[in-house]
A and B are shown apart, each in its own frame.
Chain A
Amino acid sequence: MEPLIKVTGLTKIYGTSGQTVAGIKDVNFDVMEGELVSVIGRSGCGKTTLLRCIAGFEKYDGGEIFLDGKRVCSPGPDRFMVFQGLDQLFPWLTVRGNVIFAMKTVHKGMTPKELRERAGYYLELVGLSGWADCYPYQLSGGMKQRAFLARALSVNPRVLLMDEPFGSLDAFGRRAMQELLLKLWEKTGVTIVFVTHDIDECIKLSDRILVFASGSLKAILANPLPRPRQCEDAGYRNFFAEVSRMIGEEAGAGEEPVREPAVRLKWADATLR
């Protein structure tokens, strides 16, 4: 079976002439259709950059990204982002209005009645039926997260890209959102790439874990634990220790991204263009 997302030799360099900083270098992996894959690493390791490259928001300097065999070069609703931060809803539209706006923009030719029904369906799916006519400022952080999910699913993307989406929630809110995400994933079968820095979160959610350190993909770990996963499960602690060791080995490098010599930039340019 062909992978849904194929990333080969992906390299992204930040910085101006002379001093260059590698955002990510030579990253290779596949994501199969329907998979839930986590990307974990310290801050500054390039995991957000990777997600933004897949989404098409960042131009990359080397390698290729394919979705369904087609090269990714610009943003599109087939790869829908859930960003960090709670300001993603349009404040001038109600919750329902936000979902309808997204669907109307992506799926042209739906009647107002269809739009309303579909929006209602997705809002019910995330448990926001009672809040459909509220404006974003009236929602709590957790409800906003639910609304982001409803909007993202409503455009029917091939893959959902999530960038530390639950980082701003408290522990209870985060657990509720993780359970909701798993429920939605099982129900819709959507492929998910989920960036996090929380080891428990990535173990509970994902089929496979991509461990990033200093801009490179250090390891791909298959999650051996059966679902649903609890901290008390046999093998949980061992797997936690393994993931933690993979991330922690880079502890000496600290939070600093790796500085690459300028030659690297030239090499990357020559290969890619």
Chain B
Amino acid sequence: MKTMLSKVAFILSLAVLWETVRIAGGYSELLLPGLLSVASSFWAERAELLKNALFSLRIIGTGLSTAVALAMLLTLLCMNGRLFPGVITDIMAIMHPLPGIAILPVAILWFGIGVKSVLFVIVFSAVWPLANHFYTGFRSIPRNQLEIGRNLGLSGLKLALSVMLPASFPHILGGLRSGWARAWQASVAAELVFGAAGGQGGLGWYLYKKRFMMETPGVFAGMLVIIAIGLVVEYLIFTTVENLTVRKWKVVAD
């Protein structure tokens, strides 16, 4: 309750700061809109915003789950082969620092302008941090736990699912967190750069349109929706999962 109150107080003081700066500086609505006009723009366009947000979430969901599956596959190959670990860690070292958006020109050439390109960029952005976290997690499993699993007669996929996965769960959760953030960044960035095809798009596309029309309050409303979704996922999903798993097992520091 106390933490909740302090969070609300923090957000309120941010809002006060915003309005003070705007009024004191005498900025135009085009540069820094007032909170009221942002709010009224949000209310007026709520259906549109909701549609775009759902579109973004759907495409991120698809991209992120594809990336998770790919990262798992890469990690399992790394764990089981002799050749793979070297090759795959080299590829990860090369690809990880490359921003997902930098692959967009190639994606447009290969897949054209549209959902497929955005998906490709999302998968590309999320898969490397995911694989990196998964691989670190799998390698940091206590040897005793792995050997107890083998002693019970488990091996291969069964060992991976029933022992390695839960044993590396703190790292897996960390990977999902950064994969999710990367996926958002990629989807918004991709749509901002080239818009969307066929009148369908996500929140990035919304920001793009509003900027194009110089409707600055709408741009801010779109950004606030992105922030709000980020907060909801962080506090409702990730924190809940964390409380039910790694914090309950005390395998991470509080």
**A residues at B contact (CB < 8 Å):** 55, 57, 75-77, 79-81, 83, 85, 87-88, 90-92, 101-102, 105-106, 135-137, 155
Contacts and interface: CB of A to CB of B under 8 A. Distances in A.
B17 to A, nearest CB: 43
A92 B152 contact: no
Contacts of B153: 75-77, 105-106
22 contacts: A57-B147, A77-B151, A77-B152, A79-B151, A81-B148, A81-B151, A83-B147, A85-B142, A87-B144, A88-B144, A90-B145, A91-B250, A92-B251, A101-B162, A102-B148, A105-B152, A106-B152, A135-B248, A135-B249, A136-B249, A137-B249, A155-B152
B249 A81 contact: no
Interface stretch (B52-60, B163-171, B232-240): B163-171
Contact of B147 (A76, A81, A91, A92): A81
B154 interface: yes
User: DSSP majority for the B interface?
Assistant: helix
Which of B148, B153, B245 has its CB near the most chain A CB atoms (within 10 A)? B148
Interface in B167-202: 167, 169
A126 to B, nearest CB: 17
B46 interface: no
A90 to B, nearest CB: 6
A87 B167 CA distance: 11
B147 A75 contact: yes
B150 interface: yes
Given A57-B150, A137-B249, 19 more contacts: A75-B150, A77-B152, A77-B153, A80-B151, A83-B147, A85-B144, A87-B142, A88-B145, A88-B148, A91-B250, A92-B166, A92-B167, A92-B169, A92-B251, A101-B152, A102-B148, A106-B152, A106-B153, A136-B249
Contacts of B162: 101, 105
Contacts of B169: 92
Given A87-B145, A90-B166, A55 B245 contact: no
Nearest to A98: B148
3 pairs of A and B residues whose beta carbons are closest in the complex? A137-B250, A105-B152, A92-B166
